Chain A
Amino acid sequence: AQSVTQLDSQVPVFEEAPVELRCNYSSSVSVYLFWYVQYPNQGLQLLLKYLSGSTLVKGINGFEDEFNKSQTSFHLRKPSVHISDTAEYFCAVSYYGGATNKLIFGTGTLLAVQP
């Protein structure tokens, strides 16, 4: 069975500082990896996804992710955050070659950007 762990429930950071949101997963099979963002009172929006190939993935809004297969981690990074990045961030996995696109989510990390 797969599980996804987001190590920080909340990450406070000052504007223009770099940020890293951590995510680890465990799975007995290969998985695809996703980061979604949820702005207040909104639905989820895909930030980036890792399917295969280069372990460094660039997403929207200046976010990027580095996949580390040996450590089963895919941490989300941004070199300089803005106030508008304040949101809940969810990492998720789905089965490689699975019959469905069922997403298994982590518990979320609230990124709180302060001026």
Chain B
Amino acid sequence: DTAVSQTPKYLVTQMGNDKSIKCEQNLGHDTMYWYKQDSKKFLKIMFSYNNKELIINETVPNRFSPKSPDKAHLNLHINSLELGDSAVYFCASSFFGGGNTEAFFGQGTRLTVV
């Protein structure tokens, strides 16, 4: 029943490791997003894909690489993790375009880099 699901919910890892977060939506949306929420709860968009095509790529270190195998999935791979990458990462999905459609968010993945 879950509309937007992310795995894992919690991720604790050491500096320098590589990790991935997976996201899936069953809402039939064609656009998916990754947002980062920092320790002060500020939310900022990182990436967006529409039908597997990258349409938003904010100023994010290239250690972060999103991949969308199909329009229902958007994964985030992070290389060489740093302490500053610790945050909650939210996946979201919506219909494309116009700016007026609701985005549905997943439960978040709390990444802690030690």
Which residue of the partner chain, among A38, A45, A49, A101, contacts B97 with CB atoms under 8 Å?
A101
**Alpha-carbon distance A51/B98, docked complex (angstroms):** 11
Find out whether the CB atom of B4 lies under 8 angstroms from the CB atom of A43.
Answer: yes
B44 / chain A contacts, CB cutoff of 8 Å: 105
Q: How many A-B residue pairs have C-beta atoms within 8 angstroms? Tell me.
A: 78
Find out whether the CB atom of A103 lies under 8 angstroms from the CB atom of B100.
Answer: no
Find out whether the CB atom of A46 lies under 8 angstroms from the CB atom of B102.
Answer: yes
- Measured between C-beta atoms, what is the minimum distance from A22 to chain B in Å? 17
Q: Which of A12-20, A66-74, A76-84, A88-96 lies on the face that meets chain B?
A: A88-96
Which residue of the partner chain, among B4, B40, B43, B100, contacts A90 with CB atoms under 8 Å?
B43
Find out whether the CB atom of A99 lies under 8 angstroms from the CB atom of B4.
Answer: no
What is the size, in residues, of chain B's interface with A at 8 Å between Cβ atoms? 31
Task: Scan residues 77-114 of chain B and give those whose CB is less than 8 A from a CB of chain A.
Answer: 90, 92, 94-108
Find out whether the CB atom of A43 lies under 8 angstroms from the CB atom of B107.
Answer: yes
- The residue of chain B having its C-beta at the shortest distance from the C-beta of A110 within the complex is B41
Interface size grouping (class) on chain A: 20 to 34
Q: Of B98, B101, B104, which is in contact with the most chain A CB atoms at under 10 Å from its CB?
A: B98
- The residue of chain B having its C-beta at the shortest distance from the C-beta of A90 within the complex is B43
Find out whether the CB atom of A43 lies under 8 angstroms from the CB atom of B90.
Answer: yes
B interface residues with partner A (beta carbon < 8 Å): 4, 31, 33, 35, 40-45, 48, 50, 55-56, 90, 92, 94-108
**Alpha-carbon distance A103/B100, docked complex (angstroms):** 10
Q: A31-B99, A32-B99 are in contact. Are A99 and B45 (CB under 8 A)?
A: no
B56 / chain A contacts, CB cutoff of 8 Å: 100, 102
- Measured between C-beta atoms, what is the minimum distance from A29 to chain B in Å? 10
Which residue of the partner chain, among A43, A95, A97, contacts B108 with CB atoms under 8 Å?
A43
- Measured between C-beta atoms, what is the minimum distance from A114 to chain B in Å? 21
Which residue of the partner chain, among B42, B48, B107, contacts A107 with CB atoms under 8 Å?
B42
9 A-B residue pairs with Cβ-Cβ distance under 8 Å, sorted by A, are A43-B90, A44-B92, A44-B105, A46-B103, A49-B100, A99-B97, A101-B96, A101-B103, A108-B43
